Amino acid sequence: MDEVSAFLIQYGWIVLFSVVFAEQIGLPLPAIPVLLAAGALAGAGKMNLAFAVLLSVVACLSGDVVWYELGRHRGRQALNLLCRIALEPDSCVRRTENFFTRHGTRALILAKFIPGLSTLAPALAGLFGIGHKRFLLYNGLGAALWTLAFILPGYVFSSQLEAIASHEARVGTFLLVALGIGLLAYIVYKFVHRQRVLRELRIARITADELKDLMDNRQEVFVVDLRGELDREADPYTIPGALRMTAEELEQRYHEIPRHRDVILFCACPNEATAAKMALMLRRKGITNVRPLAGGIDAWREREFPLEATARQAEPERVRAL
């Protein structure tokens, strides 16, 4: 804390804005220690509390607006970019979509306090067409609450934090090394696990052309659309005859999947990660003739193969709800 505080005293507002902005756009820079340090400095009379709060909120909103606009204008490309830098790309979009389904627009407030969802939520808000005013209202409220949640404790416990910082100066090197090794080990584990899962399914994938040939030759194929509710609302088309079933539903209803037919799973996430994960799950259940669709629904659409329209509303009811 003492090093962060000294850095803030020297560079002040630039550091606070830059670190908060960087975290919100997805860079691995922790903003919480900086917010705590800013609050402690304000408590010691070395920084203006109100301006620090305002600056953090503006930085937070600035980063979120970048992803919101990318979500509006680039759609799935923005989400794919975010998931490619995530540790768990197989679940990042699905978790956030489910969060939106449960909480509606209020998810923009709550997501600020959940690692992994904070950066993704603004992009999904743009993708699903949440209006600018509503986005700024709810996301701004979330940014303010998130900022206050960490600046105010620093302000209130300024003297205690200073004492802790003094103690950490003596044992800080050991703790930082231990935490660094632990974090590095976690990242390596997640990366290796991700690559192993994708490698296991890569050789078993089916291409859009191969699936189309099977369907044209009237082969018995069982196609499952794994996209979530909000994802389908944003893109209300699917492969003809596909059964719509979310990944969560498939985990509960896997017994409905035929064991003696070719089963094809597809989603809209990077590297067909959700489809790959569900294919592994079905194989563990004894359903062996299962393959993910390479490239998902986007690959099918790029080949200009036929699509089947599904019912669509102007905006998902749960997202409209206040």
pLDDT in tens, 96-132: 667 777 777 888 888 888 876 787 788 888 877 888 8
How far is the C-alpha of 111 from the C-alpha of 100, rounded, in Å?
Answer: 9
- The count of structural domains within the chain is 2
3-state secondary structure of 5: helix
* Mean pLDDT on 297-321: 68
Decide if 285 contacts 254 (C-beta within 8 A): yes
Residues 187 and 300 in one domain: no
Q: Of 196, 224, 246, at which residue does a domain stop?
A: 196
- pTM (two decimals): 0.58
Q: What are phi and psi of 118, to 5 degrees?
A: -60, -45
Residues 40 and 160 in one domain: yes
Say which residue the tokens 């904070």 belong to.
118
Q: What are phi and psi of 126, to 5 degrees?
A: -70, -40
User: pLDDT tens across 161-188, in order?
Assistant: 555 555 544 444 554 455 557 656 756 7
Decide if 44 contacts 162 (C-beta within 8 A): yes
Residues 47 and 192 in one domain: yes
Helices and strands counted in the chain (H then E): 16, 6
Residues 212 and 173 in one domain: no
* Mean pLDDT on 206-229: 89
Q: Of 158, 174, 196, at which residue does a domain stop?
A: 196
| CB-based contacts of 218, cutoff 8 Å, min separation 6 | none
* Containing structural domain, residue 78: 2-196
Q: Of 143, 162, 196, at which residue does a domain stop?
A: 196
Residues 209 and 172 in one domain: no
Residues 178 and 316 in one domain: no
